[in-house]
Amino acid sequence: MSANANARPRVGLFVTCLVDLYRPSVGFAAVKLLERGGCAVDAPLAQTCCGQPAYNSGDRADTAAIAKQVIEAFEGFDYVVAPSGSCAGMIRHHYPTLFADDGDWARRAADLGAKTFELVSFLTGVCGMTEVEAKLDRTVTYHDSCSGLRELKIKEQPRRLLATVDELELVELPTAETCCGFGGTFCIKYSDVSAEMVRRKSDDIQATGADLLLAGDMGCLLNMAGKLKREGADIQVRHVAEVLAGMTDGPAIGEEG
Amino acid sequence: MQPKSHLFKEESTKAIGDANLQSALKNLQTGFVAARARAADGLDEFEALRDEAVTLKDHILANLDFYLERFEEKVTEAGGTVHFCATAEEARQTILELCRRYGAKSVTKGKSMVAEEVALNPFLEANGIEPVETDLGEYIIQLAKEAPSHIIGPAVHKTKEQVSDLFHEHHAKYGRTERLTEAEDLVTEAREVLRQKYFDADVGITGANFLIAETGSTIIVTNEGNGDLTQMLPKAHVVISAIDKVVPTLEDVSTILRVLARSATGQEMSAYTTLSTGPKREGDLDGPEGFHVVLLDNGRSDLLGTDKQDLLRCIRCGACMNHCPVYTAVGGHAYGWVYPGPIGAALDPHIVGLEEARHLPNASTFCGRCEQVCPMRIPLPKIMRHWREEAFERGLPPARERLALKGWAWMARHPWAYRLAARIGIGVMGRLGRRRGGRFRDLPLARAWTKSRDMPAPEGRTFIDRWKAGERG
């Protein structure tokens, strides 16, 4: 925690471009959860995107420029938290690699990476949160988004907190660890392959019998929600933070407001 | 094999629409994945063994010339010959000369990906020599005149019904006219048809999973035993292998063998692990008179000391493809060259050229599962990323793609412009989306998305705008 043990840790919320643009409610859910976890939260206005579209397309120069901007906007905080395993993984693991041979930036990238976390794992691992005050009478299933799962080892943390939501029942998705086919620009560049991957995912989700699908990354959620809606499946889709924060009154992803 | 990797997009679309292929791929997804998981969970020291295997292989690669020289010395001592070949063409010519030396009209072959890499079969055929594949999967695709679609299951893309049709068509000339439908009967018939081929062959060609420096032995692991017959019965045994297969000692091999089958098929060990050391010695009852090892480089040594050296740790288990959601959606042929799946996406651009194979490292979601299951911990996504960077630097992606990306990157670097565009764009989309029930069934600028799925509508105002205005939820 911060230098002064009595002061609340200052968390910079990296809201992620997809949350910012598509689903601000996830950002507000994150703020609520972080405050309940004892943090002082601010969202720097200069933030845009973590640079993954450029990075994954091989555009290293632009990625570095965007990354420097993120480092400058967030390095003053005690922690950086993102409601996304993918963006948090980008800052935590890929920024240090990106600047490995770049003197002072290497140090600044490594420092920022070390204090950057995905939201749910931050709540359980750093804030020591063991339960949430929320109630939801639904049967839910959970998709483990790939970057969070493999780069940040996020697997049991969301399940542990979901287990404390009153009346919520979790049924496991047998293919929870299989990619849904979003993959950033992949879903546009190789749209037929992506479509087949999300078609399989949608079948698997529907086979669980759950009426609500949760995950921790907006990209995967938009992809899976889009497919489930296209197929007319009667399953709602939400970011896990909305459920943990008890903010499920608004419309689910892809539904009428 | 002539690469067709530049056709990945077209071929993958075709593959997704191929009902037979999709039905065959379904078994792959469930069978091998579960088997590997059971095998990994059932062995406490599995992770430690992987680490040991990685350390060992890195040591070998750092001393590759030493171990290759030692291997050659030992093969020579045992009465065999090592032929170093820099290119595929050299390897083909060397094998043709050997076949001619032994007067070969027909050769039997055990499974070898390197033989596919140098396109050996069409070359031998063009020179009047009949190659007969003896691995059941390879035999099936030879009848179908296709290339392997998987490293360990070359015919994994074929359904039982397709195999039944192939045998019915091709086995009539051996007097077998009854149509078989049971897997066991099909296997039996293939065994019986192949039996005479082993006796007729003048040369037996096999691949090698490992080359042992301390003894000059080559090792093949199989589940069918066909390799043993291939190498024991003809006059000469020709091993074709790549230079990166050398391992210092027999004990070292046992470490890698323990992770190989578990990663591939979930078995503790393959059914057969066959060692060959030199030709028949005086007093031996069986064995070939000649023993030759054709060692192919084909660009591999160029990888040493580069950021892609880790590729040479690959032990060809196929775990990366079994677990890859792209591979299991499109199958191996869509990749357009010998090595499909994640390892192909990382290796093929080096061997066939990035212009040809540009799509392969891009056609990945970077989900990371390949690296997670790779027994040799090859950082496959990282290597694919290197290729994407090289392709971008060389201007290989289409102009439209580069322009869109540059536009996004410019916005991301100019928060004021980003905020302005977001406010307008998201505002409009939010209003339209609310009128359309919260999602778009067709967005003209995002047809690649809306062709197969709806596009959820944004809420209408961005988080940062609302945060700036003092909203807190």
Angle formed by the axes of helices A191-208 and B8-16, nearest 10° = 30
Identify all chain B residues contacting A182, using CB atoms and an 8 Å cutoff.
Answer: 365
Look at strands B455-456 and B246-247 and give their pairing. unpaired
Indicate the domain borders of chain A.
10-125, 130-245
Torsion of CA A171, A177, A183, A186, to 10 degrees: -110
Does the domain spanning A130-245 belong to CATH 3.40.50.11810?
A: yes
pTM of the model: 0.96
Residue with tokens 């070898």: B112
Residue A180: closest C-alpha in chain B: B325
- Contact criterion met (CB below 8 Å) for B368 and A151: yes
User: Helix B46-62 to helix B64-77 angle, to the nearest 10 degrees?
Assistant: 90
For domain B52-302, give the fold: Rossmann fold (3.40.50)
CB nearest B405 (choices: A20, A53, A229): A53
Min Cα separation B113/chain A (Å) = 26
Cβ neighbours of residue B31 closer than 8 Å, sequence gap 6 or more: none
Helix, strand and coil content of chain B, in percent to the nearest 5, comes to 55, 10, 35
Quickly tell me which residue has 């999300």 as its tokens: A198
Q: Where are the alpha helices (DSSP H) in B294-398?
A: 319-322, 325-330, 341-352, 354-357, 359-362, 369-373, 380-393
- Give chain A positions within 8 Å (CB) of B12: 190, 192-193
Nearest CA in chain A to B426: A21
One pLDDT digit (tens) per residue for chain B, 473 residues: 789 999 999 999 999 999 999 999 987 777 899 999 999 999 999 999 999 999 999 999 999 999 999 999 999 999 999 999 999 999 999 999 999 999 999 999 999 999 999 999 999 999 999 999 999 999 999 999 999 999 999 999 999 999 999 999 999 999 999 999 999 999 999 999 999 999 999 999 999 999 999 999 999 999 998 999 999 999 999 999 999 999 999 999 999 999 999 999 999 989 999 999 999 999 998 899 999 999 999 999 999 999 999 999 999 999 999 999 999 999 999 999 999 999 999 999 999 999 999 999 999 999 999 999 999 999 999 999 999 999 999 999 999 999 999 999 999 999 999 999 999 999 999 999 999 999 999 998 899 999 999 999 999 999 999 999 999 87
Residue with tokens 């945060």: B467
Q: Is the ipTM of this complex over 0.90?
A: yes
**Cα–Cα separations (whole angstroms), residue B423 to A53, A164, A167, A255, B309:** 21, 37, 38, 21, 47
Best A19, A56, A57 member to test B by mutation, with max B CBs in 10 Å, is: A57
- Return left, alpha or beta for B339; rule: phi > 0 is left, psi -120 to 50 is alpha, else beta: beta
Q: Number of A:B CB contacts under 8 A?
A: 224
For chain B, which residues make up each domain, given as ranges? Answer: 1-42+318-397, 52-302, 407-469
Enter the tokens of residue A6.
């009595």
Question: Using CB atoms, which residue from B405, B434, B472 is nearest to A57?
Answer: B405
Rounded Cα distance between B388 and B86, Å, is 27
